Amino acid sequence: MRRIVGLIVINLILIILLGIFTPYFLTKANLIVMVDNIALEIVILSGYALLIIGGHFDLSVDGVVALTGVIAGLLMNKGLGWVWSCGIAISVSALLGLINGFTVAKLGINGFIATLTTWWICQGFSFGLTKATAPYGFPDAFGILGQSHIFGFKSFVLYAIIIALVLSFVLHKTQMGIHLYASGDSPKSCERVGIDVAMLGIKIYILLGILAGFVGLILASRLDAASPIAVDGVALRVIAALVIGGCSLNGGQGTIIGGILGLVMMHILSNAVIQIGMSPYWQKAMLGSILLTAVLSERLNFNFRRLRNV
């Protein structure tokens, strides 16, 4: 709770300062763009929070997002209905999540290596299937998915809110959430009391695959094109946001709301880079610095708790 309150205060201070020193930050147009961009990452962050709390890791998100959009786009261009195209694409993303989950949770392969491999495979297929040329010109009905508006914001903002609320409920109010915290903290102890830690991990990997696929469809609908490089570094941004928000890379700790507040802070800072006239190319350097600081902070906090319990 202390971390959440602190992030709320920091975000408010940043908003006030940017509102005072930059003329465009608090404009309606800028705020809508920020909310739209944050919403897409909240969808992935909500699933990733469950994964990291359960003690797992996934670098394949960017590739799954791109491949799902590409598959749906190519199928629609071949004449298949948009509903069937989306269903097949989401099924592929779920299958990729299953492969990740089985490889990591069941076979015990290092999550970094296993999911990095999946990312490369997805990127390779995305470029190979499209020859680096994004399919475009999709049916109008498909465009509604990512282009319709509710209260001035894109409809996927509402989807993100619903997904975050539902998964927060799962995390804090269901037996599955209790098992996730316990398995992330001490998987061997969970196995001794009969919790199938491997199956739990597989389920969360599948969930994250589906959510990444959903974002891929939203992006394809929003842009009316399915780029093989639809996103760039979203997995790293989500990881950084979760660590800033209180998630432990060792598992067993964290909340979705904390991750969202960390993500908001990162987007405010990224927007500030543009508002004050700095080159947007500095954003990646800033992201890397924030991630390094968050990881070091989390590690120092972990060491402090361990010493305190000795």
Using only the alpha carbons of the chain, give its radius of gyration.
20
Please give the chain's pLDDT, 310 residues, in tens: 778 888 899 899 988 988 888 888 888 888 888 898 899 999 999 999 999 999 998 999 999 999 999 999 999 999 999 999 999 999 999 999 999 999 999 898 988 899 999 999 999 999 999 887 888 889 988 988 888 888 778 889 999 999 999 999 999 999 999 999 998 888 888 888 888 899 999 999 999 999 999 999 999 999 899 888 888 888 888 988 998 888 888 888 889 999 999 999 988 888 887 777 776 677 777 777 777 777 777 666 656 556 565 5
Cα(103)–Cα(98) distance, integer angstroms: 8
Q: Fill in the DSSP letter of residue 149.
A: E
Cα(105)–Cα(88) distance, integer angstroms: 25
Question: In this structure, is residue 127 part of a structural domain?
Answer: yes
Query: How many CB atoms lie under 10 A from the CB of residue 282?
Result: 12
Q: How many domains does the chain have?
A: 1
Cα(133)–Cα(217) distance, integer angstroms: 17
Question: In this structure, is residue 245 part of a structural domain?
Answer: no
Question: In this structure, is residue 292 part of a structural domain?
Answer: no
Q: Which of 178, 223, 224 lies closest to 200, judged by CA?
A: 178
Question: In this structure, is residue 10 part of a structural domain?
Answer: no
pLDDT score of 280: 66
Per the structure block, which two tokens stand in for 27? 């404009």
Question: In this structure, is residue 255 part of a structural domain?
Answer: no
Cα(289)–Cα(283) distance, integer angstroms: 10
Q: Which helix (H) or strand (E) holds 297?
A: helix 283-309
In order, the DSSP letters of 159-204 are HHHHHHHHHHHHHHHSHHHHHHHHHHH-HHHHHHTT--HHHHHHHH
Question: In this structure, is residue 37 part of a structural domain?
Answer: yes
Query: How many CB atoms lie under 10 A from the CB of residue 7?
Result: 21
Q: Are 243 and 262 in contact, with CB atoms under 8 Å apart?
A: yes
Q: Are 207 and 97 in contact, with CB atoms under 8 Å apart?
A: yes
Question: In this structure, is residue 301 part of a structural domain?
Answer: no
156 burial via Cβ count (<10 Å: 0-12, 13-18, 19+): buried
Sort residue 108 into left (φ over 0), alpha (ψ -120 to 50) or beta.
left
End-to-end CA separation in angstroms for the chain: 24
Q: Are 221 and 142 in contact, with CB atoms under 8 Å apart?
A: yes
Q: Which of 65, 100, 122, 104 lies closest to 237, judged by CA?
A: 65
pLDDT score of 38: 93
Range of the domain at 37: 33-231
Question: In this structure, is residue 294 part of a structural domain?
Answer: no
* Amino acid sitting at position 301: N
